[in-house]
């Protein structure tokens, strides 16, 4: 492992792997080295060029792709995977078994419940009017509920709620709340069908969900 840096206050669980040029426990702007505790659970697999800021609480079996950036003060559960080139901002809550694919952006104050699946190139947003003088006072990321799946290249607007078990089709722009157990797609995204109506196109299984 070459040129890794672990700041004071970082607690790594046993059986971890760190790739080259990894940085853990970076103090946020204005903070001192080690001022905020950083916890990463057992069996983590942190690939090269990952940068994790201080104040994160991360569970067991955590893994990153290459060039992942995770800002400060996030709560991340067990069995979470974050793909290559993804950016996780600060004050985010993630449950267990969350899968985030490559090149995704998760903004501050987003909430991802258990077993959420985020496809590649997905962008969540958290402010309706960038550069508004009051923008910092109303930052609200989406809430993605249990088992929801967001297809590749989708965009989710601020303060949107994606219901349990719902599926967002690839390339969708979600501008309003999505109820549980439905499939939505398009720009703007609209309900297309119920989850129970989905069928495997290859006849490998009766229902995918």
Does the pLDDT at position 151 exceed 80? yes
pLDDT tier for residue 2 given thresholds of 50, 70 and 90: confident
Residue reference for tokens 């792709």: 65
Catalytic positions are: 129
Rg, the chain, Cα only: 18
Does the pLDDT at position 1 exceed 70? no
Q: How far is CA 190 from CA 17, 65, 106, 176, 180, in A?
A: 43, 33, 23, 9, 13
18: part of which helix (H) or strand (E)?
strand 17-18
Domains of the chain: 5-197 (2.160.10.10)
Token couple for 90: 């600060």
CA angle, 120 as apex, 60 and 71 as ends, to 5°?
Answer: 50
pTM as predicted: 0.96
Q: What is the distance between the alpha carbons of residues 1 and 7, in angstroms, rounded to a whole number? A: 16
Q: How far is CA 90 from CA 66, 75, 110, in A?
A: 19, 9, 9
Does the pLDDT at position 159 exceed 90? yes
Provide DSSP, 54-112.
TT-EE-SS-EE-TT-EE-SS-EE-SS-EE-TT-EE-SS-EE-TT-EE-TT-EE-TT-EE
For residue range 7-54, what is the model confidence (pLDDT) as tens digits?
999 999 999 999 999 999 999 999 999 999 999 999 999 999 999 999
Does the pLDDT at position 136 exceed 70? yes
What pLDDT does residue 54 have?
98
Token couple for 134: 């009051």
Cis status, amide bond into 138, omega within 30 of 0: no
For residue range 61-97, what is the model confidence (pLDDT) as tens digits?
999 999 999 999 999 999 999 999 999 999 999 999 9
Token couple for 120: 């590649």
For residue range 176-205, what is the model confidence (pLDDT) as tens digits?
999 999 999 999 999 999 999 999 999 999
Tell me the mean pLDDT in the region 110-133.
97
């Amino acid at each position: 492992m070459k040129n890794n840096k672990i700041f004071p206050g970082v607690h790594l669980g046993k059986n971890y792997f760190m790739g080259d040029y990894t940085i853990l426990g970076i103090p946020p702007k204005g903070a001192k080295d080690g001022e905020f505790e950083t916890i990463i659970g057992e069996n983590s697999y942190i690939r090269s060029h990952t940068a994790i800021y201080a104040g994160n609480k991360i569970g067991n079996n955590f893994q990153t792709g290459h060039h992942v950036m995770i800002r400060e003060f996030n709560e991340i559960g067990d069995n979470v995977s974050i793909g290559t080139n993804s950016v996780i901002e600060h004050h985010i809550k993630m449950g267990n078994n969350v899968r985030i694919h490559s090149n995704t952006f998760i903004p501050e104050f987003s909430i991802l419940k258990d077993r959420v699946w985020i496809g590649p190139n997905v962008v969540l947003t958290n402010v309706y009017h960038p550069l508004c003088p009051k923008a910092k006072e109303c930052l609200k990321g989406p809430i993605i509920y249990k088992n929801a799946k967001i297809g590749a290249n989708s965009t989710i607007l601020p303060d949107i709620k994606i219901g349990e078990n719902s599926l967002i089709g690839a390339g969708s722009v979600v501008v309003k709340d999505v109820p549980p157990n439905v499939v939505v797609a398009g720009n703007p995204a609209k309900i297309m069908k119920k989850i129970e109506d989905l069928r495997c196109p290859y006849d490998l299984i009766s229902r995918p969900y």
